[in-house]
Structure 1
Amino acid sequence: MLYQHTIGIIGAGQVGMAAANALFQQRIANELILVDLDRNRAEGEAMDLMHAQGYVGRRRVRAGDYADLAQAQIVIVTAGVGQRPGEDRLSLLNRNAAVFRQIAEQLDRHAPEAILIIASNPVDVLTYVMQTLSKRPHEQVIGTGTMLDTTRLRTLLAEHYMVDPRSVHALILGEHGDSEIAVWSHANIGGTPICGNSILGKPYDPAQMDQILTQVRRAAEEIIARKGYTNWAIGLVLAHLVRTIQEDQNSVLPISVRLAGEYGIEDVCLSIPVAVGLRGAGGRVPIPLNDAERQALTTSAETLKRCLHSLDL
């Protein structure tokens, strides 16, 4: 049987399987191939999903090796090593860079045409690492970036104003991390700017907006403190990103790409608005930033560059 939309997932952990579950339920992929060092786990996860075909139609999910990814159009990378007790961030980064070197070699050998979506953290640094290590064009290696942070911001704003999150238009740019920025100068609900306006009887409250941004930045920390990991929301982000690529939507999304002078920033991966389609990262869609936002984005880039300069690539 010929499967058209084959998607590979490297890493059958919590994030990888949340992505697989979302792709399976939304009928986005005809075939999912799970690659994990623990082959038994990957096989068990594949069997578990396969048993639900009665509700989604014929879909193939199987465990595989890198060689099985030859026909994959898209490969999602969620693999990485966890932080050891007492280990500093730089040591963790270098160990993950070593893991990515092995993954890049295998993917270049077996799936050289596939678009790679990086979801492993720190996603901006590891997107840059994969772009550096892989032979494929940079446009074919993208990170989920601040897509998750952006939906968190829209969700919290929607709760504050009691509206549908899909009516909220707001962006998080920069690092997927503490230095990320909210573009308040363009945030709006149904076309009405949030800054300075009363919306549905709620006056603009800068302190409340700052509190919401803090909640966005601390969201992962709060979730991890309660359940040990985050997975469901990023799984949906990954499914949305895969669909966007497959359907060549050219949707403008805040994904992590390597900058080449945009906003005066070069040679670092972070999130800016990018048109996403069949070729991966397409044209950049520059959004005018005010002086404070531009400086904050520059600071975010400098934070990431310090990490990159310390890596052994």
Structure 2
Amino acid sequence: MVNLRKAAVIGCGFVGASSAFALMQSGLFSEMVLIDADHDKAEGEALDISHGLPFARPMEIYAGSYDDIADAAVIIVTAGAGQKPGETRLDLVKKNTGIFKSIMPEIAKRHCEGVMLVVANPVDVLTYTAVKYSGMPEERVIGSGTTLDTARLKYLLGQHLDVDPRSVHAFIIGEHGDSEIAAWSSANVSGVPLNDFCDMRGHHEHEAAMREIAEKVKNSAYEIIEKKKATYYGIAMSVVRICEAIVRDEKSILPISSMMHGEYGISGLSLSMPRIVGRGGSEGMVPIHLNEEEQEALRASADVLAGVIRDAVI
């Protein structure tokens, strides 16, 4: 039986540890197990985070093994090599698919009934790998996808328009990577079409501004990695947001990575589209409006991922 108050984090590097810390602060779970190939690392992170509990909410945090994941509501997989300066997410694919091919059979043995949330990069390829090797129903295997990219887009639009980014409704879709697409044709600010709102705020060079903002979103991770060698705080907060939607059965719409079955002419791979996220994981795709150019770019992004899957996974 699933324990809705329990999370498991597999991989205790920067992203895994930051996610565990953010989850502790969120109060969403009362039990969290940390698993790493280096058990001492998992123990150290569990101890360090636990020492902050007097300032937070009661929670049991401990280092464990794969046997401890069976009843977890969410299994968060961050294990894998990190992205280095000058390296793309897709450059990580062979190293991290190899790691996943060793982790997923261990998960399969435990017959988990919760939701697996893949966070390691390249997240779309690894989500597909997890579906293929974990034995879990594909709707319960999701990736963090472009949730963080979308947050970056909202943040930059909020700055550009001088409005609360929570009032901005826009998505990055496709690959979490260099072929991602800003879905401008469906973007709005509290129901007002984006270009109309830009005009209201005195911004009239729409095409140039959209190109600049989309490039900034795409290159955000590269900039951060160049300056501080890794990104982890933003993705940790994305993990918390997705976990909230799952354990609270919110039916929230988030741009997660999940398997495609003919939508927009794309099948047999995982990429990021807005989906309803609840206790069952991915509970259906939301068919946002995309113009012809965006649909073509989405299919091109899928082709990039399909080529990587053919070379590294199948």
Place the TM-score, normalised by the shorter chain, in its bin. Answer: over 0.9
Relative to structure 1, is the Cα distance of residues 217 and 6 closer, same or farther in structure 2, using a 3 angstrom cutoff? same
SS at match of 1:34: strand
Residue pair 1:195, 1:204 contacting (<8 A) in 2 also: no
Q: Does 1:95 align with 2:95?
A: yes
Match of 2:151 in 1: 151
State the one-letter code of the partner of 2:97. A
Query: How far off is 1:85 after superposition?
Result: 11
Q: Partners of 1:92 and 1:45 in 2: how far apart?
A: 25
Question: Within 2, Cα distance between the matches of 1:137 and 1:300?
Answer: 25
Give the C-alpha shift of residue 114 in structure 1.
Answer: 2.4
151-160 or 103-112, which deviates more: 103-112
Bigger shift: residues 261-270 or 110-119:
110-119
Alpha-carbon shift at residue 142 of structure 1 (Å): 0.3
The AA in structure 2 aligned to 1:20 is A
Q: What are the within-5 Å matches in structure 2 for residues 269-280 of structure 1?
A: 269-280=270-281
In 2, Cα distance between the equivalents of 1:54 and 1:94?
A: 42
The answer for unaligned runs of 5 or more in structure 2 is: none
Q: Check conservation: 1:19, 1:239, Cα contact below 8 A.
A: yes
Give matches, 1:1-313, under 5 Å: 5-82=5-82, 92-195=92-195, 197-313=198-314
Once the two structures are superposed, residues 105-160 of structure 1 have per-residue CA deviations (whole angstroms, 9 ceiling, x without a partner) of: 11111252121100000000010011011111100110011100000000000001
Q: Shift of the alpha carbon at 1:88?
A: 10
Letter in 1 for 2:41: R
1:15 positional shift = 0.4
**Equivalent pairs: percent with the same residue?**
43
Moved more, 83-92 or 13-22: 83-92
Q: Check conservation: 2:158, 2:164, Cα contact below 8 A.
A: yes
In structure 1, C-alpha distance between the alignment counterparts of 2:133 and 2:273, rounded to whole Å: 22
Give aligned pairs, total. Answer: 311
Instruction: Give the superposition deviation at 1:201.
Output: 3.0
Structure 1, 155-164 or 76-85: larger mean CA deviation:
76-85
- CA distance 1:307–1:240, shift in 2 (3 Å): same
Amino acid at match of 1:241: I
TM-aligned CA distance change 1:271 to 1:138, over 3 Å: same
What is the distance in 1 between the residues matched to 2:77 and 2:175? 18
More displaced 10-residue stretch of structure 1: 122-131 or 196-205: 196-205
Return closer, same or farther for 1:201/1:95 CA change in 2, 3 Å cut-off.
closer
**In structure 2, C-alpha distance between the alignment counterparts of 1:253 and 1:89, rounded to whole Å:** 21
Q: CA separation in 1, counterparts of 2:87 and 2:232?
A: 23
Q: Deviations over 1:31-66 (max 9, x none)?
A: 110000111111111111111111212111101111
Q: What amino acid sits opposite 2:138 in the alignment?
A: H
